[in-house]
Amino acid sequence: SVSVVPLALKNTSDCGSFMLLDSAPDSHKFKLTMLQPSHPSHFYKTVKNEMRLLQSSLPPGIWVRGYQDRMDLYSVMIRGPSKTPYQDGLFLFDFQLSADYPHAPPLCNYIPYCSDRLNPNLYEDGKVCVSLLGTWSGKGTEVWTHKSNLLQVIISIQGLILVSEPYFNEAGYERQKGSQQGHENSRMYNEMVLLKLIQATARMQQTPPSVFYEEILEHFNCYGGSMICRLERWLQISECHNTTHPLSPTTPNTYRSIITDSEQQSVLPEFPLIPASKGFCLTLRNTIPQVRTVFDQVLKPGWDDELNKYFPLHSSVSVVDAHSIVVPSDSNSSETAVTCNSDTSKSSSKQLSTGKIPLSGATSVSSASSDSGIGGNSGSTDSNSSTEITPPKTS
């Protein structure tokens, strides 16, 4: 048997958290997959060391749960790092240690809460594409050895998959880096990520997994308001740009003419997104009220007090089923024929030039990203995604 003292959870979720629970939930992907360790004594000794490492070394924004009745199973929740389109989103994974662990990597299953993929390395069927798991090619320290551990895999997912420009994680797309085409494709992909993320967030609120139920509600009680506030500010900037520059080409700098001071500059995303396309703005503008209504149904009263000071929810939205929130396949295409509401744009412009909008408070460890050791489906794109990505032409 392995005796591990659970770490206390902090209300702000700004530290890593490991707990050993009595029994694995029936919903765990590998609950019905039983294994017999090839070398039991070595296996359980390794598991004990793994748990000690998880207790002492988890970085902020990672929750791990082990189980007394199934020492081979783990549940993991990762918060999207700051300065990425995944910021403050939550991502769930089920792990099972293999029979000859640690000589073979663990099995990993991603639990999606949105339709299609929001990352080239996270598949809708649960596949996670990272070299440490043996699901993608790698070399040296990128591949699993008997000295590797579960913590390394978890940190790799946080630092190598949930990055600021996930478009370039797709196999073969890295060659576009530094080009105008690459920047625009990356920006469009980030539009899709944000739409999928808000969809996944709403669905997770209504059907949270039992193992992380309290942590999920606590997280969005703390960060749900600032998450939506960020999206509203980015919408304002983009809608104002699209109204004042309706015929000009979209470039990374044309929107800066409507940003008037350093505080407003500080709310800009640190990844390609602004100015967002008209189609993206229209879809997100229609989706946010539905998501806020879902939050109202499940979160504590007052979760949006600060948000309402600057972005009051004017429209009356009835009870919403999060699974009815759908992201149209062409929602963020820059070619979508959409006429922005001039009154809304004027109002947004006024708020940008005169209003003082508080900066969001959610922060997360931002692991150094790398383009090695990860991969996606080479040359493939989501036919149902919110954007059409054009792969580079090759001879």
Q: Based on the number of CB atoms within 10 Å of its own CB, is 252 exposed (0-12), middle (13-18) or buried (19 or more)?
A: middle
Q: Read out DSSP for 308-343?
A: HHHS---S------GGG----TTTT-TT---PPPHH
CA distance 173 to 119: 13
Place of tokens 């902090």: 10
* CB distance 390 to 185 below 8 Å: yes
Catalytic residues: 129
Residue 288: CA count within 13 A, CB half-sphere:
25
**Closest to 4 (Cα-Cα) out of 44, 61, 60, 35:** 44
* CB distance 173 to 76 below 8 Å: no
Burial 49-81 (b: 16+ CB within 10 A, else e): ebbeebbeebbbbbbbbbbeebbbbbbbbbbbb
Residue 104: CA count within 13 A, CB half-sphere:
11
